[in-house]
Amino acid sequence: MNKDSYVIGVDYGSDSVRSVLVNAANGQEISASVYYYPRWKAGDFCVPADNQFRQHPLDYVEGLEHTIKDCLAKAGDPAIAAAVKGISVDTTGSTPVAVDKTGTPLSLLPGFEQNPNAMFVLWKDHTGVHEAAEINQHATKFDTNYLQFVGGIYSSEWFWSKLLHVLRADEQVRGAIYSWVEHCDWIPFLLTGGSDVAQMKRSVCAAGHKALWAAEFGGLPPEEFFATLDPLLKGFRERLFEDTYSSDVAAGNLSQEWADRLGLTTDVVIGVGAFDAHMGAVGGQIEPYYVSKVMGTSTCDMVVAPTAELADTLVNGICGQVPGSVIPGMMGLEAGQSAFGDTYAWFKRLVMWPLQNLLTDSKVVDAETAKALIEELSDKIIPTLAEQAAALPLTENSEFAIDWFNGRRTPDANQMLKGAIAGLGLGSDAPRVFRALVEATCFGAKKIVDRFIEQGVPVKGLIGLGGVARKSPFIMQMMADVMNMPIRIHKSEQTCAIGAAMFAATAAGLYPAVEDAMAAMGQGFDAEYTPDAARAAVYAKRFRKFTELGNAIEKQTVSSKPEEVSDVQEEVVR
């Protein structure tokens, strides 16, 4: 390899997009840039009470241009731009959007600019919960189990439930939509100057884990499956895709328009996209049978294993298992929690409510001082809660919580479920409740690991990635104790973006396989948490109570739903 070869990894998260400029020879981060979505930050197009979370494509496009140009400017050497060989992109998912025949999101067209249904439907949008329940019921009518490779349960966070909900909810979009496209597929299409959605290279990662694509089905399930689910879906299958691609494949070259906008050349290769956790697992140097935990607002738990070793093993209740979705040539298995960091953020907002709603009207301090106080205390709340929670004695019967604050992703998707806090008393203060919430997220993670092991996929250990893993020793030590297994923390601050850079280097031909890029560009680990036997024993007892409480809440949730949904959920629970 030419020592002066560089690649760019672009990582789209829930709140921001970040790009890293990387030396492809050794993985050295030359520069990085983060762009927070302004429309999203303002709360535009979202209705949290209705579980509606939408993002405007302009947030994505503006962030893409800003961060890449900023990375190149920070590098400080014009020669570096000429030596950039590849760009690859990861995104949240399933985060699809309605497009016209040219592949343009409808919200970029006149008349749709302010229509949330014409925008990207973010992964955590659960407005399609009833549609997901219908898909689960509908699938039982066919001799072929079309849900077998997605854990047996379809989720409202995924491709088809979101499409069906948007079609039902919005006549204007229904009349203009031609196809339905994942965010991770659209950005490479945009960068390569795509103008025909039929030519878009679709990611096997997104298609297999969220859209029911499987080689065993010859692609997507047949037209009959969708047309009999709802006539509104008639004809969509043929306007989607037949073939899918792993992320070591080139989607094309950078278009002249984007080369001019970014200050790069059209020789730059654009890789096929994938979901953030999948590329993050590669950036975090995933190993077979280790659970790679990307911990942010939610979690995505990735496992890879040689395909031949898994044979006919199918793990129920996860987000799917797809050959090549993480590392080409290996089986990729995905699970995760719908709320992880989001749970802590919710509690922070709860605790901050008096400051944000009362301090600004104080007669004691001026507005400027009030604002400064709010900002200062906002930064201190979670670290201080963690410090005080860590000092609490661990007992079998202290406060409990259930981590379903954004529904349950896995095991056994059910977005109708709600979080809970139990065992409260007059002595239950903020640190004790925070500790219960952290424990709940760790217990939810243990449920996932237990499911893998129970169904024939051994777990050798854990790899922690992302902001929570790096910033909170309290949470990571509790994770090790709850799991009763060690967890290694990857050194990189930007594992998803670094993983994208590794795929960019592979797609550009700088490495023959992504494993070679991982070996050369990986940054290694800088911390490891090992379980404390005494604490692990107490957590094992509390975990049984956590399970009992969760079962009771789930039973109550199912019995309280309308009859048409209750029947579906009872079938799912069985």
Tens of pLDDT, residue by residue over 18-42, are 999 999 999 999 999 999 999 999 9
Segment 273-277 shows an average pLDDT of 96
* Dihedral of alpha carbons 541, 542, 548, 551, sign: negative
Helix (H, G, I), strand (E, B) or coil at 206: helix
Q: Residue 566 pLDDT > 60, yes or no?
A: no
Q: Residue 560 pLDDT > 90, yes or no?
A: no
CB atoms within 10 A of CB 362: 13
3-state helix, strand, coil in the chain (%, to 5): 45, 20, 35
Q: Residue 238 pLDDT > 60, yes or no?
A: yes
* pLDDT value for 363: 87
Q: Residue 531 pLDDT > 60, yes or no?
A: yes
Please indicate whether residue 356 or residue 72 has the higher confidence score (pLDDT).
72
| Cβ-proximal residues to 477 (8 Å cutoff; 6+ apart), any chain | 390, 529, 532
* pLDDT value for 569: 40
| Mean pLDDT taken over the chain | 94
* Residues 469, 475, 481, 487, Cα dihedral to 10°: 10
**In this predicted model, what pLDDT tens digit does every residue of 127-146 receive, in sequence order?**
999 999 999 999 999 999 99
- Looking at the chain, the whole-number percentage of residues with pLDDT higher than 90 is 91
| Cβ-proximal residues to 368 (8 Å cutoff; 6+ apart), any chain | none
Please give the DSSP secondary-structure letter assigned to residue 181.
E
Q: Partners of 337 in the beta sheet?
A: 299
Please tell me the distance from the alpha carbon of residue 14 to that of residue 161, in angstroms, as a whole number.
Answer: 20
Confidence category of residue 45, pLDDT binned at 50, 70, 90: very high
**In this predicted model, what pLDDT tens digit does every residue of 298-337 receive, in sequence order?**
999 999 999 999 888 999 999 999 999 999 999 999 999 9
Q: Where are the domains of the chain?
A: 6-284+492-527, 341-447+475-483+532-573
First to last CA, the chain: 55
CB atoms within 10 A of CB 32: 20
Helix (H, G, I), strand (E, B) or coil at 539: helix
Chain center to CA of 514: 21
Confidence category of residue 565, pLDDT binned at 50, 70, 90: very low
Please tell me the distance from the alpha carbon of residue 492 to that of residue 518, in angstroms, as a whole number.
Answer: 13
| pTM assigned to the model | 0.89
Q: Residue 559 pLDDT > 70, yes or no?
A: no
Residue 465 contacts residue 280 (beta carbons within 8 Å)? yes
CB atoms within 10 A of CB 251: 26
Please tell me the distance from the alpha carbon of residue 430 to that of residue 350, in angstroms, as a whole number.
Answer: 10
Architecture of 341-447+475-483+532-573 per CATH? Up-down Bundle (1.20)
- CATH, domain range 6-284+492-527: 3.30.420.40
Confidence category of residue 493, pLDDT binned at 50, 70, 90: confident
